[in-house]
Structure 1
């Protein structure tokens, strides 16, 4: 596994400012699976890492200590670099999930959706790299501070929770012009051409979520995986409706991009009315919760980005990494074309 000398890491990151992220983590492929809560467990992280990428766990707000320990054990089993993602707004209540994770010695920890606050110091003191997902210029300004090692530029086309303020490419260009820190491109990347585009622009790695959410190793329900694989480019919606319905206290600025379904068609454009309806009728929450458990994709949120059109059913994580590794041919072709 990569060198984990706690005494030198913070000095290295702060004084150097920029470094080769894939080299530091000993990656053979510049691909990171997004830490999707409910989809990215230890088996997916292990499969991605074993295939040369960086496998990430998604630690949700309800993750138990036993779950964190068990899934971390799976993630580190290949003996390669691995990481995890947590939500800053959850850590404002308690840093205990992070402390539990750090005992498992991840190599990179992403803290996003709010200010990382003291979490960043804890991560770096533990010898791990601290990453932050950014979705607009204000987020980027925060990520430029010295306690953040890696910046993940996630555009509004990405699946799951985040901002819908700007697309990936403008945000990526802004970040690359502003810093020498490692920058990772996220949002809308599903194939080797997308990875090639991100790397050609200057990103050090591609952060891929939706395609891995439909993979064999994903924790997602089989019905969810099938829905993602069958989705088209125009089949998503950005909304807070699913969070409102479930009573999940996501900050209002972070909605979620999901596949359109009967529930979102009814409520996505009228979130105020939905809030009032949920306050007066507990059955709405119960119905959506049951739909999630049962994989009822007509009602449950199926978080996926616009890149869902590039996903397929019955793909292993290793197969996905092998396909994404085709970025090299696209980069060579581009260079040959213009030389």
Structure 2
């Protein structure tokens, strides 16, 4: 496995440890977003010097995994994948299929990662875990997790809605010498500089990459993200309830507000009753997703949607984010001692 180098000062050199282990030149990971982070995005991020992550959803097929993982590896650069622990609890086959393609890093989140983490380590890859509160952070500090991803509630898609990125990042950095990656609400060079200056090993960015040309997202979804404001999202379980998706109740999703969420997000009990009574709502939202009717279908995006634009390539996004170094240098000059 790409072991993390030993260090006499691990807390101050954790960035170098993770970079040495995974081989990226820009400390930018694309989030492993199911439905957006396919092989093309993964490969493009890695080719541009970042670390590309493939998103494996709950319903992905073996053929899809083999095809997309093959594309992800095509850059010749290290890459990784993200899977959901609550799905792997029922079936480890998707993880086994991903591991057959040789990722260097696998993130196992949203549930107990134990059996899956052991399988990843057997393959020789590093294991990461997304955490959204203090209890999950405590679990990630156990020996079977190599990298902690602090996902604040600003982030898009599924996760907890309890703690924002900076408090969670600061807590993690005070508790561990493991590499810590910051996630949630990051979309600009200034945002990356903020978490890197605090001590993060890298920035984990989803929403901005979801709108890139290589993303699997529908063109309408990319345009919706690019046109949204920072206060246009809602955190809710409404979309999962309507689609009858078995996400654990503690993990809602942050998405762009639309007519459906405006109608149902504040009355989940009534929504559950309606879904149980017949198939009308479930059929309507599934049809809306198929035809990209964004007044009904979910567009999972974080608060950083208001800082994102559609139409850029992954390489262009990484080049922009790499400006975090100049931001840090400016801050050092401004606040450095005389």
TM interval, short-chain normalised: over 0.9
CA deviation after TM superposition for structure 1 residue 23, in Å:
2.2
Does residue 61 (structure 1) correspond to residue 58 (structure 2)? The answer is: yes
Separation in structure 2 between the aligned mates of residue 301 and residue 148 of structure 1, nearest angstrom: 32
Separation in structure 2 between the aligned mates of residue 24 and residue 326 of structure 1, nearest angstrom: 23
2:75 aligns to what SS in structure 1? coil
2:191 to 167, 170, 194: 194
For residues 267-282 of structure 1, the aligned pairs below 5 Å read 267-282=264-279
TM-score, structure 1 length as denominator? 0.95
CA deviation after TM superposition for structure 1 residue 283, in Å:
1.4
Name the residue aligned to 2:73. Answer: 76
TM-score, structure 2 length as denominator? 0.96
CA deviation after TM superposition for structure 1 residue 11, in Å:
10
CA contact (8 A) 2:5 2:17 kept: no
Mean alpha-carbon deviation: is it higher for 16-25 or for 190-199?
A: 16-25
Tell me how many residue pairs correspond in the alignment.
331
Does residue 168 (structure 1) correspond to residue 168 (structure 2)? The answer is: no
CA deviation after TM superposition for structure 1 residue 26, in Å:
1.3
Separation in structure 2 between the aligned mates of residue 225 and residue 306 of structure 1, nearest angstrom: 15
Separation in structure 2 between the aligned mates of residue 328 and residue 318 of structure 1, nearest angstrom: 17
1:57 aligns to what SS in structure 2? strand
Following TM superposition, the consecutive aligned residue runs of length 4 or more in structure 1 with deviations greater than 3 angstroms are 9-13, 16-19
CA contact (8 A) 1:150 1:182 kept: yes
Q: What is the CA RMSD across the aligned residues, in angstroms?
A: 1.5
Name the residue aligned to 1:37. Answer: 34
CA contact (8 A) 2:157 2:253 kept: yes
2:137 to 137, 140, 147: 140
2:24 aligns to what SS in structure 1? coil
Does residue 215 (structure 1) correspond to residue 212 (structure 2)? The answer is: yes
1:246 to 228, 243, 246: 243
Unaligned stretches of 5+ in structure 2? none
Separation in structure 2 between the aligned mates of residue 317 and residue 10 of structure 1, nearest angstrom: 27
CA contact (8 A) 1:247 1:285 kept: yes
Separation in structure 2 between the aligned mates of residue 230 and residue 259 of structure 1, nearest angstrom: 11
Unaligned stretches of 5+ in structure 1? none
Name the residue aligned to 2:85. Answer: 88
Separation in structure 1 between the aligned mates of residue 143 and residue 194 of structure 2, nearest angstrom: 28
Separation in structure 1 between the aligned mates of residue 304 and residue 37 of structure 2, nearest angstrom: 17
